[in-house]
Amino acid sequence: MTMRNERNAGKWYRACLAATLLPALLLVHRHTMAADSGTPAAPGKERAVTLESVAGSPIKRVVLSAKAAQRIDLQTGAVGEQAVALTQIVGGIVVDPSAAGASPQTRPAAAAASGSKAVAELWIRVALSPPEWSRLAKDRSARIVPLVTRANLAPESTAMLTDRPPLESAKSGMLSVFYVLPPDGGLVLGDRVRVELPFEGGSDKHKVVPYSAVYYDAKGDAWVYVNTAPLAFVRQRVAVERVSGNLAVLSSGPEIGTPVATVGVALLYGAEIFGK
């Protein structure tokens, strides 16, 4: 798939997302402006959103009505602590094993050790630095996520490292590392994928939140909305160390056990910012 097609697919996805969120954002914006300006709600109607000042901060507390929370499907979770596997997401490309100087009978390292007769038909090539290669968990599978959209594609799969030694680039010093692509993944030569690589370690516990709880503003700063009272939320800055699966690992942020919004976060941000 060409880079142009990837960009077009990304634009199509963002357009669909915007079309889905825009009506709700406009509805929240309309109610928020009325609440912030002091305009009373129509007789017999409850305000959807109320903004309240936070002492010593430009950030506003966002208070939703029960109906508004239901309309945006608001959900909450909590800041947790758990051991998170060390992973790294890199780009990969589907290649022919012969391009790496391998015979058609080359097998995954794990399969070769077990005496399996599995034959690799296609490989995925990723580029790693020598330190990354040394930390790679070579006996564990990598998660493969396709970047292309076709009817016969599996949403994701796993792949094992081949027993082909890495190929070093004399120019860049990077290593080409190869994984065996499962035969039923639907990918073809030249397809690009995301590869989530496993690394050694990861037994220490870390502060985590669901990744859906994190909102990035236009400057790239990361935030969560802390649930301070029933249907009341205050934006708090966090530092995301890395993302592992559906979890964001935090190096700073709310205390463990703090309730945060996990669904409807973008709409909370829109309500707060539009109301300024």
Q: Do 28 and 127 share a structural domain? A: no
199: its two tokens: 């690394």
Structurally, the chain folds into a number of domains equal to 2
Residue 88's pLDDT is 85
Which pLDDT score is estimated for 245? Answer: 77
Same domain, 48 and 60: yes
Boundary (domain end) residue, out of 163, 198, 233: 198
pTM > 0.85: no
Domain coverage including residue 15: 3-83+203-274
Question: Is the same domain home to 92 and 191?
Answer: yes
Specify the pLDDT at position 68.
94
Task: State residue 99's pLDDT score.
Answer: 67
Query: Do 183 and 238 sit in the same domain of this protein?
Result: no
Q: Which of 163, 182, 198 is the last residue of a domain?
A: 198
Predicted pLDDT at 95: 93
* Claim to verify: residue 120 and residue 163 sit in the same structural domain: yes
Are residue 49 and residue 107 in the same domain, yes or no?
no
Looking at the fold, whether 162 and 178 belong to one and the same domain comes out as yes
| Residue where a domain terminates, one of 198, 221, 236 | 198
Whether residue 220 sits in one domain with residue 162 = no
Instruction: Tell me: do 173 and 259 sit in the same domain.
Output: no
The beta strand positions in the chain, using DSSP E, are 49-54, 57-64, 75-78, 80-83, 87-95, 123-128, 142-146, 157-161, 167-168, 175-180, 192-198, 205-210, 215-216, 222-229, 232-244, 247-252, 259-263
Low-confidence ranges of the chain (pLDDT < 50): 1-11, 13-39, 104-120, 276
Residues 102 and 141 in one domain: yes
CATH of the domain at 171: 2.40.30.170
232 and 270 fall within a common domain: yes
Are residues 56 and 112 both part of a single domain?
A: no
CA nearest to 51, candidates 39, 35, 66, 67: 35
Per-residue pLDDT at 85 = 81
